[in-house]
Structure 1
Amino acid sequence: MTTIGDRLHVTEVSPEYWRVAIDNAPLNLFDARMFAAFNVLMDRIESDGNLKVVVLESTNPDYFVAHYDLGYEEAPDVPGAADFTDWPRFVTRLAQSSVISVAKLRGRARGHGSELALACDIRFASREKAVLSQIEVGSSVVPGGGATEWLSALVGRSRALEIIAGADDFDADTAERYGWVNRAVPDGELDDFVHNFAHRIAGFDKQPLGLAKHLVNARAGVPSEADRWASNHAFLTTTTWPATQERVAELVVAGLQQEGDFELRLGHHLGNHDKS
Structure 2
Amino acid sequence: MEELKSQLRVRKDNGKAYVTLNRPPANSYFLEYLLYIEETLLSLEKDKTISVVVINSASEKFFCAGADIKIFSNNSSDQNIEMVKAARKVTKTITSSDKIYIACIQGHILGGGLELAMACDIRLAKEGNYLVGLPEVKLGLMPGNGGTPRLIDLIGASKAMELLVTGDSVTPKRAYELGLFNQLYTHENFEEKVSVFVNNLAKGPKKAMKAIKNYVIQHKGMTAEQALQFETESVNKLYGTYDAIEGFKAFIEKRTPEFE
Corresponding residue number in structure 2 for 1:239: none
Q: Which has the larger radius of gyration?
A: 2
Structure 1, residues 94-134: CA drift from partner, whole Å, max 9, x if none?
A: 11211000001111000111111111110011112442111
Question: Structure 1 residues 199, 4: closer, same or farther in 2, change over 3 A?
Answer: farther
Corresponding residue number in structure 1 for 2:248: none
Corresponding residue number in structure 1 for 2:144: 144
Corresponding residue number in structure 2 for 1:6: 6
Preserved CA contact (<8 Å) 1:53 1:100:
yes
Corresponding residue number in structure 2 for 1:63: 62
Q: Distance in 1 between matches of 2:221 and 2:123?
A: 18
Question: Structure 1 residues 132, 221: closer, same or farther in 2, change over 3 A?
Answer: farther
| Residue aligned with 2:131, SS | strand
Question: Structure 1 residues 184, 94: closer, same or farther in 2, change over 3 A?
Answer: same
Q: Distance in 1 between matches of 2:187 and 2:130?
A: 9
Equivalent residue runs for 1:50-89 within 5 Å: 50-70=49-69, 71-72=71-72, 83-89=83-89
Q: Distance in 2 between matches of 1:197 and 1:113?
A: 22
Corresponding residue number in structure 1 for 2:26: 27
Q: Distance in 1 between matches of 2:208 and 2:4?
A: 30
- Higher mean C-alpha displacement, 83-92 vs 106-115: 83-92
Corresponding residue number in structure 1 for 2:244: none
Q: Please, which runs of 5 or more residues in structure 1 have no aligned partner? A: 75-81, 223-276
Equivalent residue runs for 1:108-147 within 5 Å: 108-147=108-147
Question: Structure 1 residues 131, 205: closer, same or farther in 2, change over 3 A?
Answer: same
Count of matched residue pairs? 213
TM-score (norm. length: structure 2): 0.75
Cα displacement (A) at 1:220: 5.1
Letter in 1 for 2:179: G
Equivalent residue runs for 1:163-182 within 5 Å: 163-182=163-182
Q: Distance in 1 between matches of 2:130 and 2:105?
A: 6
Structure 1, residues 27-72: CA drift from partner, whole Å, max 9, x if none?
A: 2112223212211122112211111001111111111012211204
| Residue aligned with 1:170, SS | coil
Q: Please, which runs of 5 or more residues in structure 2 have no aligned partner? A: 76-81, 223-260
CA RMSD, aligned part only? 2.2
Preserved CA contact (<8 Å) 1:131 1:170:
yes
Letter in 2 for 1:186: T
Corresponding residue number in structure 1 for 2:212: 212
Preserved CA contact (<8 Å) 1:50 1:206:
no
Corresponding residue number in structure 2 for 1:44: 43
Higher relative CO (Cα under 8 Å, sequence separation at least 6) belongs to 1
| Residue aligned with 1:11, SS | strand
